[in-house]
Chains A and B, each alone.
Chain A
Amino acid sequence: MRYSETQLERYSRHIILQEVGLEGQEKISDARVLIIGAGGLGAPAALYLAAAGVGTIGIVDNDRVDISNLQRQIAHFTEDVGREKVVSASAKMRAINPDITVQPLEMLLCADNIRGVIRDYDFVIDGTDNFPTKFLVNDACVMENIPFSHGGILRFDGQTMTVLPGRSACYRCIFRQPPPPDAVPTCSQAGVLGAIAGMLGTIQAAEALKHILGIGQLLTDSLLTFNAAAMNFRKIPLQRQADCPVCGSNPTITELVDYAQAACAMKH
């Protein structure tokens, strides 16, 4: 028996689920998830995955907590302002669940390091806040064949899709390349309703758990979008594109070079 009585109580609401059970909880304990970004999406995802008992959780960010983050990045508290985000988030994850291993990775993911980082994990949650990095994460996950959840929020809107590389549509099957800089406002310029970060980040956490457990239907080959002002949810069916530059039959993107500079130059 790998769980103590306290751990059985901690995970009891999972274990009594027919679809999870003891075996499922053990899969969760054995799983390794990487969260890219300890911000609006990454914070709730990190807290829920820690609470669920995901055995190893890596969290990457190179920023420090700013007071303007606290409106939505719920892993960071007022006293954390000025602290490294990964340090702040890791402390909360360990406080929720001391059973798990948290790997704080204070770094900027670039073309030359991302593949080596994501390779160690079973599932990646993209909680980044800019297009160059979202494309970088997509391309790296496709190349390393690592399932991931894409997510984005702006104003009252959210969108998310889950990608099983080589088996379902990737982000680049749908959006060929990043929009030109300044064509799309970032959170800091456009604003965002804080609670939608939780709505989206927890969907991503649920997808990670479903993937680990092998239950239900993942949000693959579909883009879930919502508008919280009208509280409308839409699921748009998607298809893998044979001419996708990264996951298609004759990929033209075979190395992570093009977006390296954009991603590394990007500053909040």
Chain B
Amino acid sequence: MDQPIEITTTKNLRGVSCPMNLVYTKVALAALKSGQVLEIILDNGAPINNVPGSVLKENHEILEKKQLPDGAWSVLVRKA
């Protein structure tokens, strides 16, 4: 059951603060087809606390959130 998730695009948003990290996330999602997966790398703190919630409100799905060794977060978003 534990199939690897196929990531279409990765967007490194380390060092990008709110709300531009959400803007770039929305721009990246706009380029994908429904069902495709975007990986975003968000800084710890405000970015990881805010961006996933905004993405959920737009009906996309969060497949996975995991913290990386440097403290940033990898978030997998499936486009609605």
Q: How far is the CB of B23 from chain A (nearest CB, A)?
A: 5
Contacts of A16 in B (CB 8 A): 19, 22-23, 26, 54
Instruction: Find B26's partner among A9, A13, A15 (CB 8 Å cutoff).
Output: A15
The count of A-to-B residue pairs whose CB atoms sit within 8 angstroms is: 29
Inside 8 A of B54's CB, which chain A residues have their CB?
A: 16
A interface residue count range (under 10 / 10 to 19 / 20 to 34 / 35 or more):
10 to 19
What is the CB-to-nearest-CB distance from B68 to chain A, in angstroms, rounded to a whole number? 25
Asked if A248 lies at the interface with its beta carbon under 8 angstroms from chain B, I say no
Secondary structure dominating the interface of B: helix
Contacts of B24 in A (CB 8 A): 8
B19 touches A22 (CB 8 A): no
Q: Are B57 and A22 within 8 A (Cβ)?
A: no
B2 interface residue (CB < 8 Å to A): no
Cβ of B27 < 8 Å from any Cβ of A?
yes
**Residue B58 is within 8 A (CB to CB) of chain A in the complex:** yes
- Contact partners of A9 in chain B: CB under 8 A: 20, 23
Residues of chain A within 8 A of B30, CB atoms compared: 21-23
Over the window 1-33 of chain A, the binary record of Cβ atoms lying under 8 Å from chain B Cβ atoms (1 yes, 0 no) is 100000011001101101001110000000000
Q: 4 nearest interchain CB pairs?
A: A12-B23, A22-B30, A16-B19, A15-B23
Interface residues of A (CB under 8 A from B): 1, 8-9, 12-13, 15-16, 18, 21-23
